[in-house]
Chain A
Amino acid sequence: SQTIHQWPATLVQPVGSPLSLECTVEGTSNPNLYWYRQAAGRGLQLLFYSIGIDQISSEVPQNLSASRPQDRQFILSSKKLLLSDSGFYLCAWMGTTATGELFFGEGSRLTVL
């Protein structure tokens, strides 16, 4: 069966520090991968999506970047965090069968101080 893992689960970082959130999917190949950010009262905002290695699209201009070094690994990064980067980050995947369902990881809570 397919599983998705995110880490770290919780992160507290000072303003100006770098960030790396990792997401790995197991049990499937060539999945579409997504990074969403959830802010209180604002639902989920799509940040990046990837349909393959080195194929990453950014949805919102911001202080973050994404990379996909392997087929089933998706990384969210920042060189210098801002206070506004605080939030709950969710990684998700959709299989190649395109059922329309996104499978979400457990999320990473980032607090920037």
Chain B
Amino acid sequence: AQSVTQPDIHITVSEGASLELRCNYSYGATPYLFWYVQSPGQGLQLLLKYFSGDTLVQGIKGFEAEFKRSQSSFNLRKPSVHWSDAAEYFCAVGAISWGKLQFGAGTQVVVTP
């Protein structure tokens, strides 16, 4: 069965500092991996996705993620966070043919001045 673990429920980071959000997955085949962001009371927006090829993928808003098969991880990074990056971030894994994504529990990011 597929599953996604986001070990950090809550992260506080200073504006301008770097950010890394962890994601570990369990999937029986080659995974399709996603990171979504959710602002308070809103729907989810796709930040980036990995299907195949280069294991370092670039997304919107200056985010990137690295797929490491040996570690079953897909960590999200941003070199310098902005106050507008405060949101909840979800990692997801699944088969794109059906869109049946398995989401992690999410990581809440708080950005301090």
Bind each other:
yes
Q: Which residues of A contact B105 (CB under 8 A)?
A: 41-43
Question: Contact flags (1/0) for B60-98 with A, using CB distance below 8 Å?
Answer: 000000000000000000000000000000101000111
Chain A: interface residue total (CB-CB under 8 A): 25
Residues A100 and B45 in contact, CB atoms below 8 Å apart: no
**Nearest neighbor of B45 in chain A, beta-carbon distance:** A104
**Nearest neighbor of A10 in chain B, beta-carbon distance:** B41
Q: Which residues of B contact A92 (CB under 8 A)?
A: 43-44, 99
Given contacts A34-B99, A94-B99, A98-B97, contact A43 B43 (CB under 8 A): no
CA–CA, A28 and B60, complex, Å: 24
Picked from A59, A90, A109, the residue with its CB within 8 Å of the CB of B44 is A90
B27 at the interface (CB under 8 A from A): no
**Nearest neighbor of A101 in chain B, beta-carbon distance:** B46
Residues B103 and A104 in contact, CB atoms below 8 Å apart: no
Interface residues of A (CB under 8 A from B): 32, 34, 36, 41-46, 49, 51, 59, 90, 92, 94, 98-102, 104-107, 109
Apart from A102-B46, A102-B99, A104-B44, 10 more pairs, CB < 8 Å: A32-B99, A34-B99, A41-B106, A43-B90, A46-B100, A46-B102, A59-B100, A104-B45, A107-B41, A107-B43
